[in-house]
Each structure stands twice: as structure tokens, then as C-alpha cells.
Amino acid sequence: AQTVTQSQPEMSVQEAETVTLSCTYDTSENNYYLFWYKQPPSRQMILVIRQEAYKQQNATENRFSVNFQKAAKSFSLKISDSQLGDTAMYFCAFMDSNYQLIWGAGTKLIIKP
Amino acid sequence: EPEVTQTPSHQVTQMGQEVILRCVPISNHLYFYWYRQILGQKVEFLVSFYNNEISEKSEIFDDQFSVERPDGSNFTLKIRSTKLEDSAMYFCASIMGLTGSPLHFGNGTRLTVT
């Protein structure tokens, strides 16, 4: 069975610091997609970044980047120059070949002023 | 940018009542999903829908739940006889179906069963 594990239930950092959220997954598939979604207090689900497993290059979106280690099945999210608006739950998710998303339990990130 | 629309944003109902949660997916998307999230907990998959039929459903999606796409644009989730434990945020999502495209989520419907 495919699983996604986020081992950090909660993290907090000072504004402007860099923070890394960890995610590991387990699958026997070779082609798949990985996502990070952000859920602010409004409870919307917002796509932060995605990674195709067949691409070695790590995805980057402005202050957000990933460290994708396919052999280790690791997909961490780095947020640089963190801002107060980054405070949210962050969910790592794996998409299989049937377009099914498997979710991690989430990491609550608090950015302190 | 087109978006997934869900109505209502908040629904309060009494235990045993039927509720219908409505979603309008993005128009050229082919796959549709319902998820739920009990407050403070993990996102749980309920059901996926493709080509006018259920493609996959979870153990949560029992006989009390049903989905419909009645008119080619709306995608509804019906809960026949609500229970207290159905109180949750319900998210609709859709995806174009092209390889690697992300799910687009609606803003959710907060269901409160009293």
C-alpha cells in the first residue's frame, strides 16, 4: 500500500528564517507525482509546489523549493525567508497512476514575528 | 483563472437529515473527487468520479453517501441521514486528467451536524 509520512506534527520558526518540512513516502510505482499543499486558517487547500518523479531537477516556486530524493523516497519542502502569511498546515501528497492522492497527516507551521 | 466552486460554505443540519453539498468543477476537467477533513485531522478520500460513474471509493463512502453529476456541470455529494460524526469540512476537487496535473480544490463546505 502506498503511504505518505510527515514526521513533524508541528514546527515554529521566526519570521525571515528558513524552514524545512519533511515528507517520506512508500510506493512501488516508478512514475508518480508529488505535491505540497498549504491549508491556512481559512481552510482552503492551496497548491504550493509539485514534482514529477521522472525529473531529477528539484522544483522551485519563488521562496518554496523541494529536495526530492527518489531513491530515499523523500520529498521535503524548504521555505526561505519565511513570512507571517506562511503560517498554515502543510500537507504532502502523492499521486498515483490512477490520479488518486494519498495524503500525509500534515505539519502545522507557525511563523513567529 | 478558473476555479472549483462549492456551495454552501457552511451548512448546519440536524442529525438524521439529508444534506446535499454542491460543487461546480472546472469545465474542462474530467476527474472529480470528494474529500473530507474532520477538524484538526488528516484529509480523507471519499470518492472519485470519472466518465459519469464512480471510479473509486473509500470505506467511509458507505450507503449513506451518493454522488451525482446531474447536468454536466454540477457535482453533488448527498448524505442521506447525517450523523454527528459527519461533521467535517468537505472538499470537492477536480483534475484535467493530463499526466501530472494537480488537483484543484474548492474552498470547502463546513458541515455541522447537531
The pLDDT tens digits of the residues spanning A30-88 come to 888 999 999 998 888 999 999 998 888 999 999 999 999 999 999 999 999 999 999 99
| Interface test with chain A among B59, B103, B107, by most A beta carbons within 10 Å | B103
Give me B74's grid cell. 454540477
User: Do A52 and B31 make contact, defined as CB atoms within 8 angstroms?
Assistant: no
Contacts 24+ apart (CB under 8 A), B65-73: B67/B34, B69/B32, B73/B24, B73/B25, B73/B27
- Indicate whether B113 pLDDT > 80: yes
- What single string gives the DSSP state of each residue in A43-71? ---EEEEEEETT--SPPEETTEEEEEETT
More confident site: B18 or A101: B18
Ramachandran quadrant class, A39 (left: phi over 0; alpha: psi -120 to 50; beta: rest):
beta
The pLDDT, as a whole number, for residue B76 is 96
- Indicate whether B72 pLDDT > 90: no
Give A47's contacts in chain B (Cβ within 8 Å). Answer: 102-104
Range A2-17 burial, b when 16+ CB lie within 10 A, else e = eebebebeeeebeeee
The pLDDT, as a whole number, for residue A96 is 84
User: Do B110 and A105 make contact, defined as CB atoms within 8 angstroms?
Assistant: no
Residue type present at position B96: M
Count how many pairs of residues, chain A against chain B, have C-beta atoms within 8 Å: 48
User: Do A45 and B48 make contact, defined as CB atoms within 8 angstroms?
Assistant: no
* pLDDT category of residue B97 using cuts at 50, 70 and 90: confident
- CA neighbor of A106 nearest in space, from B104, B4, B39, B90: B39
- Indicate whether B98 pLDDT > 80: no
* pLDDT category of residue A98 using cuts at 50, 70 and 90: confident
* pLDDT category of residue A17 using cuts at 50, 70 and 90: very high
Q: What is the mean pLDDT of residues B40-67?
A: 92
- What single string gives the DSSP state of each residue in chain B? ----EEE-SEEEE-TT--EEEEEE--TT--EEEEEEE-TTS-EEEEEEEETTEEEEE-TT--TTEEEE-TTSS-EEEEESS--GGG-EEEEEEEE--STTPPPEE---EEEEE-
Angle at B84 between CA B78 and CA B89, to 5 degrees: 60
The pLDDT, as a whole number, for residue B70 is 83
User: Do A98 and B43 make contact, defined as CB atoms within 8 angstroms?
Assistant: no
The pLDDT, as a whole number, for residue B71 is 83
Question: Tens of pLDDT along B76-89?
Answer: 999 999 999 999 99
Give me B5's grid cell. 466552486
